[in-house]
């Protein structure tokens, strides 16, 4: 049934106006063929990696336009009002699994044309409004993760003029159309038609896009454009027809790629400002505001697990510093739980002076850097179970 959908739609576009013409030849029927250019973006991001210099780079490949063949038919209801049917079959190139492939799309639907300049017989501008059915067999993504990203934190996002905040679109949807065009007649029966339409999806998952068409129009019936039975006159009046040229302007497309900063870096920078006085497990007053920020970061990652690690400087015995570091880790744990961070995602442990970088004889202001608490993410399930059991 799906394979017959396109031929059926195009047959309706051609047969309905022909039937109307056979029943009432006083109204004009227009039938046309031509080509189309469709602005539907297809984006792919590949080869995400880190250079020796530490920068992250990637390849961005995109296709914005694809062409197609169009069929057109219109029936004259009034001199200024036409009912039309339009259909387009497009051939699109897109990327899938790093391979450039070909896909098809079909767009068909009825509409109304308003031709306000009824006295203009040879050049007829018009406004067009309608609704269409659009179907394609190729994907279009606007959001994704970088393949090969070891942090699994960075994402890419592409936006164009027509689609803001999209992640992907569906393969079929109903867009409403609005546009304008012009028919320039070369004679009674043959003319040239150019036009452009903006398609806006009626659903939240359909894409918005633009389409331009150009082609030949053949006219059947209706009032003739050449004068008939004109009485001889003494002088010949030359009628000058100005030819209007419509130029299609390329659509400007804006691309924005966002890179998320790993939360581990944010936590490390914040925890550097959580300090303790010598021989104490009380959190300093200036560290309270820092823990407010730490809590807000952790509450965004409640599906992960973290260990709060306490450390002391090198001064004092091993056993005493072990107890002091555990007290400092526990103090931070309780402060975060009090700030509504779920206790189930946290554990705490003291490591004494095993990680002290400054000797005991150094100045207190320097040893202050060893009196700290850090937060580490735990991803190994057996280790987390052991830490929680022995917490």
Q: Residue 285's domain is classified under what CATH number?
A: 3.30.1330.60
pLDDT of 261 higher than 50: no
Return the bridge partners of 92, or none. 103
Q: Does residue 136 sit in the same domain as residue 267?
A: no
**Distance of CA 110 to CAs 15, 73, 82, 237, 344, Å?**
13, 10, 11, 41, 59
Locate the DSSP E strands across 148-227. Answer: 155-157, 172-173, 175-185, 190-201, 209-220
Of 60-64, 139-143, 323-327, which has the strongest mean pLDDT? Answer: 323-327
For tokens 């195009």, the residue is 10
Q: Does residue 318 sit in the same domain as residue 212?
A: no
Return the bridge partners of 66, or none. 38
Neighbours of 146 (CB within 10 A): 21
Q: What is the pLDDT of residue 120?
A: 72
Q: What is the pLDDT of residue 97?
A: 72
Return the bridge partners of 217, or none. 32, 191
The model's confidence at residue 82, banded by pLDDT at 50, 70 and 90, is very high
Of 15-19, 164-168, 197-201, 259-263, which has the strongest mean pLDDT? Answer: 197-201
Q: Does residue 295 sit in the same domain as residue 209?
A: no
Residues spanned by the domain of 378: 263-389
Name the more confident of 233 and 342: 342
Q: Does residue 38 sit in the same domain as residue 183?
A: yes
Q: Does residue 24 sit in the same domain as residue 83?
A: yes
pLDDT of 181 higher than 60: yes
Burial class of residue 265 (count of CB atoms within 10 Å of its CB; 0-12, 13-18, 19+): exposed
How many domains is the chain partitioned into structurally? 2
The model's confidence at residue 75, banded by pLDDT at 50, 70 and 90, is very high
pLDDT tens-place string over residues 282-312: 888 888 888 999 999 999 998 999 999 998 8
Q: Residue 213 sits in a domain of what CATH number?
A: 2.40.160.20
pLDDT tens-place string over residues 313-341: 888 888 999 999 999 999 999 999 999 99
Q: What is the pLDDT of residue 149?
A: 73
Mean pLDDT check: name the lowest of 35-49, 204-218, 246-260: 246-260
pLDDT tens-place string over residues 339-361: 999 999 999 999 888 888 889 88
Alpha-helical segments (H) within 99-228: none
Please count the CA atoms within 13 angstroms of the CA of 317 that sit on its side-chain side: 3
**Cα(119)–Cα(22) distance, integer angstroms:** 26
pLDDT of 258 higher than 70: no
Q: Does residue 66 sit in the same domain as residue 186?
A: yes
Alpha-helical segments (H) within the chain: 5-23, 263-271, 288-298, 318-338, 364-367, 381-389
Q: Does residue 213 sit in the same domain as residue 350?
A: no
Nearest in space to 93 (alpha carbons), one of 65, 70, 69:
65
Q: Does residue 50 sit in the same domain as residue 155?
A: yes
Q: Does residue 214 sit in the same domain as residue 317?
A: no
Question: Residue 359: what are its φ and ψ, rounded to 5°?
Answer: -65, 160
Q: What is the pLDDT of residue 59?
A: 78
Query: Is 315 part of any domain?
Result: yes
Q: Of the residues 220, 250, 275, which one is the last residue of a structural domain?
A: 220
pLDDT of 257 higher than 50: no
Contacts (Cβ under 8 Å, ≥6 apart) of 29: 17, 18, 20, 21, 73, 74, 75, 76, 219, 220, 221, 222
Q: Does residue 197 sit in the same domain as residue 295?
A: no
pLDDT of 188 higher than 90: no
For tokens 């049917």, the residue is 85
| Residue 97 DSSP class | T
Query: Is 32 part of any domain?
Result: yes
**Cα(179)–Cα(10) distance, integer angstroms:** 21
Query: Is 107 part of any domain?
Result: yes
Q: What is the pLDDT of residue 5?
A: 47
Q: Does residue 149 sit in the same domain as residue 267?
A: no
- 3-class DSSP state for residue 76? strand
Q: Does residue 10 sit in the same domain as residue 102?
A: yes
Mean pLDDT check: name the lowest of 14-23, 156-165, 172-181: 14-23
């Amino acid at each position: 049934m799906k394979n017959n959908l396109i031929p059926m739609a195009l047959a309706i576009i051609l047969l309905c106006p022909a039937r109307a013409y056979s029943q009432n030849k006083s109204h004009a029927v227009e039938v046309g063929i031509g080509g189309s250019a469709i602005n539907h973006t297809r984006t792919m991001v590949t080869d995400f990696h880190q250079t020796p210099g530490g920068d992250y780079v990637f390849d961005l490949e995109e296709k914005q336009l694809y062409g197609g063949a169009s069929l057109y038919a219109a029936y004259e209801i009034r001199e200024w009002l036409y009912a039309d049917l339009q259909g387009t079959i497009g051939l699109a190139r897109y990327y899938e699994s790093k391979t450039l492939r070909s896909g098809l799309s079909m767009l068909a639907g009825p509409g109304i044309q308003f031709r306000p300049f009824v006295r203009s017989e040879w050049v007829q501008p018009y406004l067009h409004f309608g609704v269409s059915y659009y179907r394609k067999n190729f994907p279009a993504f606007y959001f994704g993760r970088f393949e090969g990203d070891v942090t699994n934190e960075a994402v890419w996002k592409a936006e164009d003029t027509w689609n803001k905040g999209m992640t992907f679109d569906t393969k079929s949807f109903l867009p409403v159309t609005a546009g304008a065009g012009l028919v320039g007649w070369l004679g009674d029966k043959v003319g040239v038609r150019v036009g452009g339409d903006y398609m806006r999806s009626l659903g939240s998952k359909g894409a918005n896009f633009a389409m331009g068409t150009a082609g030949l129009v053949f006219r059947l019936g209706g009032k003739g454009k050449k004068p008939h039975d004109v009485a001889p006159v003494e002088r010949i009046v030359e009628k000058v027809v100005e030819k209007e040229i419509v130029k299609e302007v390329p659509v400007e497309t804006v691309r924005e790629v966002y890179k998320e900063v790993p939360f581990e870096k944010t936590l490390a920078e914040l925890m550097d400002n959580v300090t303790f006085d010598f021989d104490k497990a009380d959190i300093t007053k200036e560290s309270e505001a820092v823990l407010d920020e730490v809590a807000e970061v952790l509450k965004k990652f409640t599906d992960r697990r973290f260990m709060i690690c306490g450390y002391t400087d090198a001064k004092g015995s091993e056993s005493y510093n072990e107890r002091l570091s555990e007290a400092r880790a526990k103090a931070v744990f309780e402060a975060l739980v009090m700030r509504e961070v779920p206790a189930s995602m946290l554990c705490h442990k003291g490591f004494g002076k095993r990680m002290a970088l400054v000797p005991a004889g150094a100045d207190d202001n320097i040893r202050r850097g060893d009196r700290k608490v850090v937060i580490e993410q735990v991803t190994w399930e057996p280790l987390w179970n052991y830490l929680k059991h022995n917490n």
